[in-house]
Structures are given as structure tokens and as C-alpha cells.
């Protein structure tokens, strides 16, 4: 049994650099390096609990539902404090702070941390905002810089080495009553952010300076993170919102193509591989595969496939020619062929409390983190085969964030703690 080292993230402005841990790939963005939940890690743990196979557990400096990311030995996660810690007594919005924390993947100690004042003109802290909080957007990092977005207009860049601020930008966006969600993505020289406010803006900022490069609007009711797709020598930013999927030239913001989308709000993020984009969502279940690289209006007759099934909240994992996703309430898992949308299997994971987190897949296994903190490990095959159920007893908080994978460990975040799972 591994000893569990429980730490509280110390609030410091900088720290000496830690030596990177060798082995394993980085997980530098929401849903990993390929944006579809897939990892090349060969040996992730199968069994754990709150008392076993947990390398470390860190109490974060505030709440949040953003996912952790990893660059080398650095784990970056965001949080918020000072306001909105309880729906019954949210407190004073003037005390809201946004936090960016960098921890050592090896042992969970704080390498650096930053805090900045939050925005005060906020929607009432209740409903879906209370469910996810004011730190819902997962950061993204390149080799030198971490890029964060707190939804309520604040976008920032920080030095990966020591957390020194590089730039900050007020996007002058509003806030939806359901809160925010999309994570920033990197494409070429730009960090690109999508807002969930009523105007549905996509804003590309220069990575080095924060200068606005281009802006588009009109993406309605989208809490999904755009997909970056390289096809035919060009890089497309593919967005999915209510009623439309729209692809832009990532460098210029010029609209390239669009097609009919989900006829409802969209939470699952599109995933892409081999020039095909898969998107889904809505209370009228819809999942579609469409070829990137098109021009103008893409008719439904040109879709690769379309089916009346989907996840409502979490995104799909793509592995070995199959898409896997889970339901937000029932615990049901669906698997379809990526080539034609044909259902491979459908079934319920007994005892699962529903899923907001998106799954990850590695070494032939799928990891689904339920909202109660139990991770259900499934065989990534053609039948519903549950290999393990791993609860984190005694946490008592919400697990809405998607896990990260790096260095033989799973990084699982509740709204209060971050766990390093594995040896």
C-alpha cells in the first residue's frame, strides 16, 4: 500500500525549477495531446482507493472543475476562491480570485502559484454556475507558456518555468447563466478561446503578446472546446454550437465551411482524426461525422454518417476505430464504429453515478470518472467489460473534471483536491 502524502498548495509567487521526470508523454491540453482522450501510456494503474495506490493528494487553494494538464514534471490546474464557495451563502463577488497553480507531478509539491482578482459583474451564483464554479476552462501549455481562460473575460499567459505573468486580456465577453466551459486551444502563433456568452465569440490572441488577431461571433449555446484539424495543408478550427458546426482558418479567422449541427445546446467537444470530425450533443440526441477540408455549406448528404445517439455532457474517446462515451445521469456507455456510426454495444455500468468527465483511453483500457469520484475502468473492446471500480472514499466533493494521463499516473481532480494515482 502506498503512503498518501496530503499537501495543501502553498500560495507562493515562484520556486526553483524541478527536474523533469523522464518517461511518458505530456498531456498539455484538455483531452490530451490529440484532443480525443487517447494516450500512448503503456502502464496505468488498474486498481486504487483512497487508501491505496495514491502517490499524493493535494488540497487546492479553491474550487473549480477545470482539468489538470501536464508538461514534463509540471502539473497545472486552475481554481477560484473568495466568492461562490457555497450556493446557500456565495459571499461577496468583490473577493473573487482566480488561481493558477503548478505542482510537481512527482510528489505534488507546489512549484509556483499565482492569484489575480476576479470579475465582479457576475450572474447569481446558483444552478449550473454553482455546479461548475468560476474555474471551468482547462488551461493549455506549450513548451514555455501556460494559457488560461476563466470565462468571465479574463485570459492570461504565464511562464511555465516560474509563473511569471506574460500578458492578460479582458475579452469583454459576458457570462451565461449556465457559466463557462470551453478550453483555450493552440494553433500556429495563436491561442484561441471560445466564449459561452450570448454572443458566442471565438477570439484568437497572439501567443507572445496577447494581441487580438481575429474574432468571430454567432456560435450559440456552446460549452464545447473547438477542435484543431490539419487537412489539405491548412489548419482548421472547428467549432460546434447549437444549429451549426463552423470551421475557420485558424490563422486568419476566415470561415471555411459549415454544416448543420446539433439542434440544441452543445457540451461535448468535437474530436477529429484522419480528416474526419466527430461531433455530438443535445437533448435531441445527435452524433455526426463530417469530413474536414470542405468549402462553403456542407449538405447533410455529404456527411459520413449521422445517428440519433450522443452524450449530453462528456466528450467521446476515440480508439481503434471506435468512439466511446457515457451518459451524464444513467451511467450508460455507448460504443459506435467511427467509420459508419453503427452501434457496437450499449450498456450500463452498475453503481455508476453518472459522468460529466470525459473518458481517457490508454493501453487498451477506458477510464471513466463518475461524479461521485469512482473511476470505472473498462476494456476498450467491442463489449461492455468492466475491469475495475475504484472509489475515492471520503472525498465528499464533486468530480466534474476530466482526468489527465502522464508518466504512468492518472491525475484526477475533484472540486477540492487533485490526486496523483499510481506508483
What is the per-residue pLDDT across 283-303, written as a single tens digit (0 to 9) for each?
999 999 999 999 999 999 999
- The length of the chain in residues reads 423
What local confidence, expressed as pLDDT, does residue 4 receive?
41
> In the predicted model, what is the mean pLDDT of residues 330-354?
92
Mean pLDDT computed over 185-191? 97
In sequence order, the 6+-apart residues with CB closer than 8 A to the CB of 179 are 123, 128, 129, 131, 132, 133, 134, 136, 151, 196
DSSP state of 132: H
Contact 184, 192 (CB under 8 A): yes
Between 358 and 6, residue with greater pLDDT: 358
Asked if pLDDT for residue 177 goes beyond 80, the answer is no
CB-hemisphere CA count at 13 Å for 310?
A: 29
Give the SS3 label for residue 302.
helix
pLDDT digits (tens, 9 = 90+) for 78-119: 999 999 888 888 889 899 999 999 999 999 999 999 999 988
367 by Cβ neighbours in 10 Å (0-12 / 13-18 / 19+) ranks as buried
The per-residue pLDDT of the chain, averaged, comes to 90
Interatomic CA distance for residues 136 and 196, integer angstroms:
11
Structural contact between residues 221 and 263, judged by C-beta atoms closer than 8 angstroms: no
Is the Cβ–Cβ distance between 210 and 183 less than 8 Å? no
Q: How confident is the model at residue 358 (pLDDT cuts 50, 70, 90)?
A: very high
The predicted pLDDT at position 418 comes to: 98
Q: Annotate 89-111 with DSSP letters as a single string.
A: ----GGG-EEEEEEEETTT--EE
Give the per-residue pLDDT at 123.
81
pLDDT at res. 24: 55
39-78 residue pLDDT tens: 999 999 999 999 999 999 999 999 999 999 999 999 999 9
3-16 burial: b if 16+ Cβ within 10 Å, else e: ebeebebeeeeebe
**pLDDT beyond 70 at 5:** no
Average pLDDT over residues 234-252: 96
For residues 197-205, give the mean pLDDT.
Answer: 86
Break the chain into its structural domains and give their ranges. Answer: 5-421
Per-residue pLDDT reduced to its tens digit, 117-167: 988 878 887 887 777 788 999 999 999 999 999 977 789 999 999 999 999
Fold of 5-421: Methylamine Dehydrogenase; Chain H (2.130.10)
Long-range contacts of 247-252 (CB under 8 A, 24+ apart): 247/292, 247/294, 248/202, 248/216, 250/187, 250/188, 250/190, 250/192, 250/204, 251/187, 251/188, 251/189, 251/190, 252/214
- Residue 162, Cβ neighbours under 10 Å: how many? 15
Per the model's pLDDT, the better-predicted residue between 250 and 22 turns out to be 250
At residue 379, the 3 state secondary structure works out as strand
Model pLDDT, residue 89: 85
Distances (CA, A) of 387 to 333, 350, 391: 14, 12, 14
Residue bearing the bigger pLDDT, 219 or 215: 215
What would the mean pLDDT of 397-409 be, rounded to a whole number?
A: 94
Q: In the prediction, which pLDDT does 128 show?
A: 77
pLDDT of residue 10: 36
| Res. 205: pLDDT tops 70 | yes
Q: What is the pLDDT of residue 287?
A: 96
Q: Distance of CA 61 to CAs 10, 57, 100, 418, Å?
A: 8, 13, 9, 11
Question: Going by DSSP bridges, is the β-strand pair 317-319/404-406 parallel, antiparallel, or unpaired?
Answer: unpaired
In the predicted structure, residue 198 carries a pLDDT above the cut 80: no
Instruction: Report residue 330's pLDDT band, with 50, 70 and 90 as the boundaries.
Output: confident
Other CB atoms within 10 A of residue 372 CB: 17
The CA distance from 97 to 7, in Å, is 21
Q: Edge-to-edge, what's the strand order for the sheet holding 365-369?
A: 360-362, 365-369, 375-379, 386-390
CA atoms within 13 A on the CB side of 309: 20
Q: What pLDDT is recorded for position 396? A: 86
Model pLDDT for residues 7-51, shown as the tens digit of each residue: 433 333 333 223 233 345 899 999 999 999 999 999 999 999 999
Amino acid at each position: 500500500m502506498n503512503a498518501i502524502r496530503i499537501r495543501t498548495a502553498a500560495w507562493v509567487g515562484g520556486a526553483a525549477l524541478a527536474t523533469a521526470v523522464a518517461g511518458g508523454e505530456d498531456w498539455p491540453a484538455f483531452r490530451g495531446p490529440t484532443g480525443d482522450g487517447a494516450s500512448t501510456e503503456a502502464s496505468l494503474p488498474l486498481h486504487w482507493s483512497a487508501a491505496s495506490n495514491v502517490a499524493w493528494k493535494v488540497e487546492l487553494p479553491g474550487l473549480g472543475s477545470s482539468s489538470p494538464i501536464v508538461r514534463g514534471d509540471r502539473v497545472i490546474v486552475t481554481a477560484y476562491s473568495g466568492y461562490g464557495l457555497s450556493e446557500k451563502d456565495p459571499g461577496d463577488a468583490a473577493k473573487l480570485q482566480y488561481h493558477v497553480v503548478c505542482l510537481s507531478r512527482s510528489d505534488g509539491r507546489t512549484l509556483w502559484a499565482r492569484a489575480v482578482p476576479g470579475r465582479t459583474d457576475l450572474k447569481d451564483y446558483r444552478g449550473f454556475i454553482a455546479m461548475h464554479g468560476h474555474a471551468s476552462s482547462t488551461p493549455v501549455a506549450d513548451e514555455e507558456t501556460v494559457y488560461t481562460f476563466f470565462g468571465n473575460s479574463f485570459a492570461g499567459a504565464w511562464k511555465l518555468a516560474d509563473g511569471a505573468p506574460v500578458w492578460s486580456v479582458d475579452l469583454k465577453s459576458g457570462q451565461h447563466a449556465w457559466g463557462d466551459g470551453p478550453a483555450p486551444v493552440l494553433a500556429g502563433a495563436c491561442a484561441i478561446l471560445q466564449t459561452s456568452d450570448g454572443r458566442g465569440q471565438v477570439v484568437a490572441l497572439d501567443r507572445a503578446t496577447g494581441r487580438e488577431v481575429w474574432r468571430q461571433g454567432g456560435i450559440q449555446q456552446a460549452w464545447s472546446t473547438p477542435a484543431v484539424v490539419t487537412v489539405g495543408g491548412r489548419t482548421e478550427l472547428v467549432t460546434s454550437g447549437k444549429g451549426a458546426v463552423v470551421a475557420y482558418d485558424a490563422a486568419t479567422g476566415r470561415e471555411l465551411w459549415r454544416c448543420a449541427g446539433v439542434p440544441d445546446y452543445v457540451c461535448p467537444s468535437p474530436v477529429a482524426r484522419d480528416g474526419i470530425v466527430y461531433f455530438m450533443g443535445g437533448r435531441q440526441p445527435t452524433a455526426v461525422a463530417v469530413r474536414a477540408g470542405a468549402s462553403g455549406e456542407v449538405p447533410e448528404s455529404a456527411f459520413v454518417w449521422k445517428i440519433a445517439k450522443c452524450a449530453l455532457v462528456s466528450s467521446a474517446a476515440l480508439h481503434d476505430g471506435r468512439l466511446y462515451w457515457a451518459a451524464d445521469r444513467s451511467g450508460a456507455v455507448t460504443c459506435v464504429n467511427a467509420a459508419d456510426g453503427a452501434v457496437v454495444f450499449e450498456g450500463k455500468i452498475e453503481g455508476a453515478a453518472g459522468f460529466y468527465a470525459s473518458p481517457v483511453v490508454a493501453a487498451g483500457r477506458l477510464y471513466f470518472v463518475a461524479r461521485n469520484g469512482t473511476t470505472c475502468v473498462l476494456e476498450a473492446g467491442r463489449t461492455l467489460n468492466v475491469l475495475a471500480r475504484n472509489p475515492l472514499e471520503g472525498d465528499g466533493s464533486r468530480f466534474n473534471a476530466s482526468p489527465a494521463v502522464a508518466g504512468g499516473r492518472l491525475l484526477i481532480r475533484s472540486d477540492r483536491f487533485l490526486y496523483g494515482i499510481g506508483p
